[in-house]
Structure 1
Amino acid sequence: MTFDFERFGTVAGGVLRRNVRRLDRALASGMRPPPRMRVSEWAAEYRHFPDDAPIPGKWRHDTAPELVEIMDALSPHDPCAEVVVIKCAQSGGSASAENWLGFISDLAPGPVLFVQATAKAATQWAAEKFWPMVEASPRLNPDRGGTIRAQGLANGDGSTSEKVLFSRAGSGSYILLAGANSAANLRQRTVRYAVEDDLDQFPNDLDGQGSPEGMVDERLKVWRSRGLSKRCKISTPTIKGSSKIGHAYRGSDRRRFYLKCPECGSRFVPDWEDIRWPEGHHEEAFLTPPCCGVERIEHWQKGSMKLADGWLSDQINGEAMPRVLDEDVFQALRARMPQSIKRGFHLPGEISPFQSWAEMAVGFRDAQGDIAKLKTWTNLKRGIEFELKGDTPDYEALSALREQHWGRGQMPVGPVVVVLGADVQGDGIYCEIVGVAERAETWQLDARFIPGHTDVPGAGAWADLDAYTKRGVTFPGGREVPIDQECIDAGYHTEAAQAYCAKRPRRTPIFGRAGWSRPPIGRGEAIAYDKQGRRVGEKSKKVEDKAFLVGIDGLKLTWYGFLRASLKAAAEAVESGMDAVVPVGRVHLGRDTPPDWAEQGTAETIVVKMINGFPDRRWTPMPGRQNHYLDCRIYAMAAMAKLMLDTLSEVDWAKLRAERYAPTNPDQGDLLANGLTQPAPSKAEPPRSTAQTDTYLDSRDDYL
């Protein structure tokens, strides 16, 4: 039957007819399913970058075609439930997740949990990445009727710094920003989607309640039971065996990306062994593919070698996939590859569009001799886990590094810069003065324990340490200079350590902090300590003090590498009867090195502890051994890092050496304080014989 609008009259009937038509269109629009788009299609159509971005304008797949399949696995109609992306730095993996979030707000609304290592990191990501994407993309921009609600609306119904609301759905659709260091944030919501970004920086255990990953898993349980949840894990890796993203990738179908050779058309997985360079010219690195033997492929050809269909699991039905495949075989294997629900994608540096093979080669060259730098290069440039090798050096073997022609109170020829590290205890202060030259070569100039109480600023051991260090050092030739940098342990009696550092320039209060990804020394951060009670000197939530954070894990790894290289060089010198090539980080000890220095300087080893069923590698003191001199050396290395000695050129070192070894001239300034700008005279550098010494401190121990 047809409804009779005319019986209501011409005017009223016409109004009713128009209203019914509008209602019909609205009802049909509400019931119409969203368009069946893949995330990659949505990104190509709607994702924009701001004008000040490195690559402004619309998203283009030809920039990084390897990201297409990663995004498509996150599409609603794809059976994949979990995507794992192990990657090098700046490879586009996080941008893929950003596209997914935009897609969700537009075509598949639902509650999303976005987790970073800390809540601060999550809000910074939103400010630096997400909101610029929203502003640049009309489909998302709230000022253009987009899918994201604006922040700071007067009615209080807008997005906030911790919660992004979608405008095309009800109150149950949003992005909740959370930190993996907050159990409260990870317990608050039941969510359909989750992004765990920078996964390897998540703690293994959170407030004794389990791992953040386990908590996220619980938030997804309800939607997962309906087969509707999706989860994305993204991170650069860290230590092999302890890397969370590495563990997740090994539990997936482990897909690798195959390049297409421009010469023979075969597919191959690039590896570091394929990167070559002319002798001594790492900046001219190129790729030699393992397929047809062509000698040289340049970086500019990389883009044409990457096709969107380049992904293949490393095993199919239990059969390992070779690194090189003919095109027909590759496509046949692609067709056989199961559509698993847990897919892993590896984005190594060799295929990244945002770093060249030359950049990788130069980074590899610069990391030689420093295990911590090599680890950073392996994780960030290559995007693979770093495997710890080598045991703790034998402290009894360190006697081979003693040199009998100089001792306490003497300055051998060689050091150019002088630093000090001090470890504070309740009954005194351990300290070590270290001379430094090019390539991190070091001489232990003195190491001692200064007894006295350390809880009162300016008194006890602090007064004696000040008297000891304010005399500075005297170089051969008679030039007296102050210690260039002191790093003082502020983790015990913080106020007293800060008072000591404030008394003179070139003194820095520091706080050692574990963490394999921490830099040698960071910017001053608020660190809190208790000043009284049973936890005196320990971390407190009430008192905020400034100290510089020192990444002790990487520095200890570097220090042990320097010791092993030095022992090897010493053994080769004895065997050959001549001086061996000086390795990076060569360690020299004098004849008066304290008897317990070697034992303390190697007192810690890496121990694997299982936390929530996951291996965690930590530096741990060996039973019955103290580690005070180890801490002193680590803090001295932090002082070297604060002076940025690794940035000095050969000319800088030569100029500084010429000044400090020249005969006394009161009119000449301190280059390390005033900057290194002028080249050194060609005849100014003294011979490097270590037989020449000069007194640089009062050699008596009873100066106190």
Structure 2
Amino acid sequence: MGMDLFPLANPRRVALEALASVLTPPPPIDLPAWAEHNIEFGSESPFPGPFSLDRFPFFRRILEVLSPDHPAPFVVLRKSAQIGGTVLAQTAIAAVLELVPCHMLYVHPNAGNAKKWLRRKFRPMVKGTRLNAAMRPEGARVGHSSMAWERIDEAGSLQCAAAESPNDLSMASYPYQVQDDISKWPQDNGAGDPLTQADSRTSSFLKFGGKIFRASTPLVSPGCRITDAWKEGTRESYHVACPHCAGLQPLTWENMVAATTDGADPHFTCLHCGCTMEERHLPLMIDPKRGARWVAENPAAASYCVSFDLWAAYTAIKGWRDLWRAWERAKGDPRAEQVFYNDWLGLPFLVVGAAPEWEALRDRAEETGLQRGVIPPRHPILTQGVDCQEDRTEVQVTAWGPQFRRYVVDYVVIDSPITDAEGQRRLTEQLNRAYHDVWGNPRATDMMAVDANAYTNDVHAWHRKLKSGRVILVRGRGGDNVPPLERVKWERSAAGKVVKSSRRWYNVGVSGLKASLYAALRKADPLDLGYVGFAKGLGDALFEGLTAEVRKEVRRNGVIAWQWILPPGKRNEALDTANYCYAAAFKMGVFVRSDPAWEELIAERDIEAVQGQADLFGGAADAAPMAKPTARTLTKHTRSLADRLA
């Protein structure tokens, strides 16, 4: 009875309550506050001085979810180039190393990028914070590699790694990881998918406060890593407040394109009141005090992956006029448009995985083209692309004009291989062959690009004997991140030694060029930017080969990748030679030539006949019969642009 009147206390509860009364929980890990108090940019920054979230208020939420306190294990930022993604990553790294030190991994696409980031980004930033006294390169006292930094008290460290190296992505585990520029990571680094390998270094921590931050500009879709990761998350966009009515809305490229008429300054139109939103309004528009905020399209994913989309129009780093000028320069060339979409809009470039029906292209050529071998007006630059096969050599001849337009003039099959003297002699004749324009003026080839991948020694020997500045040697390289044309710096000699490459030996990014060509082939109006025209009489084989490949999802060794595939029984030499024609044109500066420079060259080369201008789409055949191959010496007016610039 007495026990009922005086119940005993739970001793464990009493002890815990007593402990709680004297202990204060640690404060939350506030990355935004740490950044504003510790990060200061030097004179190398466009905004020198202390880090300010007033200038970039949209960074606050990104830093908040990058905190180890936030429950989401994955954070994704799909972005334009050069808008602060790296600053966010290195700020989070530095803050965690000081506030809650742990072992951290920062993965770059390749070792060169990792070393450059340490030297140019991380070290200068550390010098401006309290971490300068607390951190040192790992092994600095014994001269080891500085790809890793550690706290002097060994409580935490930062290891840089390259996605291209399986060894970098093995052995150790890391609670916190940054995956930088993942769209540029290789699909397979020799041991499988590097993204899967990198994730495994942190996977055991993800249920207990671990964090993986993925940030990148996109590339092409389908198959864009950062876009696929972004779609899995909350898909948040920053909604700005209209400077006139305060209505909230995201800034979209479609809005700017629709609102900006020719000659006007680029701007947006408010979706609520219809008023103009100009760049000078941007500080008001992005101000959280006026309601600007991140809005999630898929909020249900917040506990797993928070994903953000941020492009150049939101920041003062890149002006809207510069953005619009970049679009005006890129418009019409699918390859240039891809770079614009990726670097300025922060969007993947949608790749058309198949060309139009070849019969439609052939019929269009027969209806509208000039006679085979005749160069149309306003196409003053002539290039040739050469593909070397075991028993023959195939050559495509293309004329180039302003606004990225091209015209396939001829397709030649030399029935002798490059490996014998006859094949080399006939290829030299083809290089020196004079084609004619609609007025009968002879034209020389400005640049020829010859495939030297399969028969490297023979092609190089022919090129050395030729001694011509009008020829470059090329080899195709796959991958969506390969530029259209880049020098081969090193090659292997016949003796097996690695030696410095010829100055006229180039890699060609064929994957991107195929996507560009297939997009251009769909343009039906000759006045469209990037239109591809064809002479009549080129034959079915050219059009079948030009459209032969398709882009498909492929699984190899457990890795899923998007690749261009040649179906069984198809031939693709016409597609390869088209890519090499593009490479030769790229070498000639076709895609960066100004309008005045084009008009000057057109005026110089389009010399009309006395009887007047020929009809572009008919009747021109009689004015300029197709020239026979000849090695004659060209006159002053017919010398190639490459020779004249040499």
Q: Structure 1-normalised TM-score?
A: 0.77
CA drift at 1:267: 2.2
Name the SS for the 1:97 alignment partner: helix
Letter of the 2:450 partner, please give it: I
C-alpha distance in structure 2 between counterparts of 1:602 and 1:184, whole Å: 40
Letter of the 1:369 partner, please give it: G
Contiguous gaps of at least 5 residues in structure 1 = 1-30, 318-337, 533-539, 570-580, 665-683
Q: 1:556 aligns with which of 508, 514, 522?
A: 514
Deviation per CA, 1:393-447, whole angstroms, max 9, x where unpaired? 1111222213688534544444311111111222232111212222233232321
Asked whether the equivalents of residues 137 and 148 of structure 2 are also in contact (C-alpha less than 8 Å), the reply is no
Q: What is the aligned partner in structure 1 of residue 450 from structure 2?
A: 488
Name the CA shift for 1:473/1:222 in 2 (closer, same or farther; >3 Å).
same
C-alpha distance in structure 2 between counterparts of 1:556 and 1:528, whole Å: 28
Q: What is the aligned partner in structure 2 of residue 228 from structure 1?
A: 209
Asked whether the equivalents of residues 224 and 348 of structure 2 are also in contact (C-alpha less than 8 Å), the reply is yes
Asked whether the equivalents of residues 286 and 297 of structure 1 are also in contact (C-alpha less than 8 Å), the reply is yes
Q: What is the aligned partner in structure 2 of residue 243 from structure 1?
A: 224
Letter of the 1:245 partner, please give it: I
Q: What is the aligned partner in structure 2 of residue 634 from structure 1?
A: 579
Q: What is the aligned partner in structure 2 of residue 677 from structure 1?
A: none
Asked whether the equivalents of residues 74 and 213 of structure 2 are also in contact (C-alpha less than 8 Å), the reply is yes
Letter of the 1:139 partner, please give it: R
Name the SS for the 1:129 alignment partner: helix
Deviation per CA, 1:563-611, whole angstroms, max 9, x where unpaired? 221xx33xxxxxxxxxxx5222333333341441111111111222245
User: Does 2:607 match 1:622?
Assistant: no
Letter of the 1:379 partner, please give it: N
Asked whether the equivalents of residues 242 and 248 of structure 2 are also in contact (C-alpha less than 8 Å), the reply is yes
Deviation per CA, 1:656-683, whole angstroms, max 9, x where unpaired? 122224499xxxxxxxxxxxxxxxxxxx
Q: What is the aligned partner in structure 1 of residue 468 from structure 2?
A: 504
Name the CA shift for 1:165/1:481 in 2 (closer, same or farther; >3 Å).
farther
CA drift at 1:300: 1.9
Name the CA shift for 1:212/1:33 in 2 (closer, same or farther; >3 Å).
farther
Deviation per CA, 1:485-519, whole angstroms, max 9, x where unpaired? 11111221223333334421121112211222333
C-alpha distance in structure 2 between counterparts of 1:281 and 1:688, whole Å: 35
Q: What is the aligned partner in structure 1 of residue 134 from structure 2?
A: 147
Name the CA shift for 1:476/1:598 in 2 (closer, same or farther; >3 Å).
closer
User: Does 2:207 match 1:216?
Assistant: no
Name the CA shift for 1:117/1:414 in 2 (closer, same or farther; >3 Å).
same
User: How many residues matched?
Assistant: 595
Name the SS for the 2:411 alignment partner: strand
Q: 1:381-396, aligned counterparts within 5 Å?
A: 381-389=344-352, 391-396=354-359
Asked whether the equivalents of residues 370 and 376 of structure 2 are also in contact (C-alpha less than 8 Å), the reply is yes
Name the SS for the 1:439 alignment partner: coil
Deviation per CA, 1:634-673, whole angstroms, max 9, x where unpaired? 1101111121212223321222122224499xxxxxxxxx
Q: What is the aligned partner in structure 1 of residue 166 from structure 2?
A: 183
Name the CA shift for 1:280/1:527 in 2 (closer, same or farther; >3 Å).
farther
Asked whether the equivalents of residues 237 and 379 of structure 1 are also in contact (C-alpha less than 8 Å), the reply is yes
Name the SS for the 2:160 alignment partner: strand
Letter of the 2:278 partner, please give it: E
Name the CA shift for 1:95/1:500 in 2 (closer, same or farther; >3 Å).
farther
CA drift at 1:198: 0.5
CA drift at 1:206: 3.0
Q: 2:332 aligns with which of 369, 381, 403?
A: 369
Q: 2:60 aligns with which of 65, 68, 73?
A: 68
Q: Structure 2-normalised TM-score?
A: 0.84
Letter of the 2:134 partner, please give it: T
C-alpha distance in structure 2 between counterparts of 1:42 and 1:262, whole Å: 31
Q: What is the aligned partner in structure 2 of residue 433 from structure 1?
A: 397
Asked whether the equivalents of residues 218 and 224 of structure 2 are also in contact (C-alpha less than 8 Å), the reply is yes
Q: 1:273 aligns with which of 254, 267, 276?
A: 254
Q: 2:541 aligns with which of 596, 609, 615?
A: 596
Name the CA shift for 1:410/1:270 in 2 (closer, same or farther; >3 Å).
closer
Q: 1:273-352, aligned counterparts within 5 Å?
A: 273-275=254-256, 276-281=258-263, 284-293=265-274, 295-307=275-287, 310-316=293-299, 340-352=303-315
C-alpha distance in structure 2 between counterparts of 1:405 and 1:113, whole Å: 58
Name the CA shift for 1:200/1:364 in 2 (closer, same or farther; >3 Å).
same
Q: What is the aligned partner in structure 2 of residue 357 from structure 1?
A: 320
C-alpha distance in structure 2 between counterparts of 1:241 and 1:613, whole Å: 18
Name the CA shift for 1:544/1:449 in 2 (closer, same or farther; >3 Å).
farther
CA drift at 1:481: 5.5
Deviation per CA, 1:46-98, whole angstroms, max 9, x where unpaired? 11222232222221112211111111212233323221111122221221001
Letter of the 2:130 partner, please give it: R
C-alpha distance in structure 2 between counterparts of 1:688 and 1:58, whole Å: 66
Letter of the 2:180 partner, please give it: D
CA drift at 1:475: 5.3
Asked whether the equivalents of residues 524 and 549 of structure 1 are also in contact (C-alpha less than 8 Å), the reply is yes
CA drift at 1:555: 1.5
Letter of the 1:377 partner, please give it: F
C-alpha distance in structure 1 between counterparts of 2:193 and 2:559, whole Å: 9
Name the SS for the 2:382 alignment partner: strand
Q: What is the aligned partner in structure 2 of residue 334 from structure 1?
A: none
Letter of the 1:270 partner, please give it: L
C-alpha distance in structure 2 between counterparts of 1:342 and 1:445, whole Å: 53
RMSD over aligned Cα, in angstroms? Answer: 3.2
Name the SS for the 1:149 alignment partner: strand
C-alpha distance in structure 2 between counterparts of 1:288 and 1:404, whole Å: 42
CA drift at 1:356: 3.2
